[in-house]
Amino acid sequence: MSAEPTRTMTLNYLLMMGIDITENDKISDERIAKRLLKALDCAQLASKWLSGPQLTPSQMEKWDDSESLNVALRRGNPVDGHRLARPDIEAKFKKPNAPINAFRDLRTSINQLGELWDKGQRVTRFRCEDKLYAITMRMVEVVKIKNKIPMIVLLYRATTPAEPSQDALDHMWKSVEDDPRSYSILASQSEQRILLKLLALNAARIHPAYRVSRELFEEGFGVSFLIPTGPLTMKDRASLNEDTGCVVCGNKTTKRCAGCELVKYCGAICQRKDWRTHKPKCMTLAKVKWHRFTFSPPSEENQAYYMNRYSRADDEDEDTIAAYLTRQEKGVPPPNNRADRPFLIKIQCNLSSILIYDRHRSTEFTMFRNESSDEDFMKLAQATWQENGHLKSYRWAKRISNWTLEICLDVQPPDEPEW
């Protein structure tokens, strides 16, 4: 397990979190690495809970052990929360060849740490199946951030085949195997890498004056913490997907192609270099016909549908799902991070509803079939059904207002996009 993930590994981690930067994008390795750290901070709502000076856990309010730490660590929407709370059910229905989602597995493991704490267990080991790569961890204490959010303070150390365990650390391994207060968590190398990234990120937030009582074999262990970690909000996904670098050189972008508004450049020089390659696609989009569709805010009948689709229910200051539902009942539209610029959408259809969303789920609309929507419903359904008998299609769209899209039904993207 190398100290730093490769470019491909980092891109895979970002994709697991809903940030779609491909190998073909010219963005630099340094900017990709920074984006992963920013994504991890978004997952733990760092701007909300970890802003301000470095933390001294010994001066913070202690966690009340009469409250379930496992429950307090759960984050996400109801469907997502059930998946994390019952990993046994998730494993039962998982497809045999489904790719590993290390970020989701990490969140499940953090929840398991809460369950272990509730049971009085303090020592754990994250290990892969071959036991060659592992992270040994002791939970030192649990405190509250801003008198509300649990923070698990811990000591940790990673071991690899290239770094054989010393006698003192062997003693720690033995305690993991023999101590009834200890527990092993099965974790892939991929999950362990992203966990180490998160621990290193949070370690820098602990005040250097903070001291932890250590056993002799813990002298080489780092000090860090974990807090509730959930899926990225749609707003965060849209922001982190916004700039994938100039298509020519990979530098930060400053302008878009005025013809199609899909391709971004660092400046006029790179735009001129790319024109011969980009011109055919650009001219196609510039001449298309746009069809306007108006959607409706979620009604009382389909409220649960919207609640389950929302990427995260704890990103605001509301403390309960009931408060979240109240906000949705007010008809708050999906965030608009593109103004009126064209973007790709996926259209999925069944006999009673049509779901439209972008690659990052930052824009999502649903149309339910009824008397008032039947004509528009059939237009979208026809575009979907005409393609190889599949009930899905890809199109360009533009956001016109909060609940209105213009969609290009007559022209498909030149290539089926990766989704």
Q: Profile the chain (419 residues) by mean pLDDT over runs of 10 residues.
A: 78 88 84 94 92 91 93 71 51 52 92 94 88 89 90 92 56 56 81 96 96 86 95 80 84 81 86 90 78 80 48 48 51 72 84 83 83 89 68 86 91 66
> What's the pLDDT at 177?
56
Through-space distance between the first and last CA atoms of the chain, rounded to whole angstroms: 29
**The tokens 């660590």 sit on which residue?**
73
Q: What angle do CA 326, 298, 18 make, to 5 degrees?
A: 90
Tokens representing residue 369 in the block:
């079939």
Q: Cα separation of 221 and 231, whole Å? A: 29
Spatial contact of 118 and 188, defined as CB atoms under 8 Å apart: no
- Picking from 231, 311, 237, 227, the residue whose alpha carbon sits closest to that of residue 49 is 227
Q: Cα separation of 126 and 187, whole Å? A: 6
Q: How do the domains of the chain map onto residue ranges? A: 44-232, 237-244+283-407
What does the chain come to in residues?
Answer: 419
Q: In terms of C-beta density within 10 A (0-12 exposed, 13-18 middle, 19 or more buried), how is residue 226 classed?
A: buried
What pTM does this model have?
0.73
> What's the pLDDT at 237?
80
Q: Cα separation of 85 and 371, whole Å? A: 41
Torsion of CA 23, 26, 27, 33, to 10 degrees: 30
- Picking from 146, 156, 157, 411, the residue whose alpha carbon sits closest to that of residue 281 is 411
Spatial contact of 14 and 38, defined as CB atoms under 8 Å apart: no
- Picking from 384, 375, 372, the residue whose alpha carbon sits closest to that of residue 409 is 384
Tokens representing residue 71 in the block:
């429950």
> What's the pLDDT at 206?
96
Tokens representing residue 354 in the block:
């049509």
Tokens representing residue 282 in the block:
């650009």
Tokens representing residue 232 in the block:
């990225």
> What's the pLDDT at 148?
83
Q: Cα separation of 80 and 335, whole Å? A: 21
Tokens representing residue 47 in the block:
């701007």
Q: What angle do CA 110, 170, 131 make, to 5 degrees?
A: 55
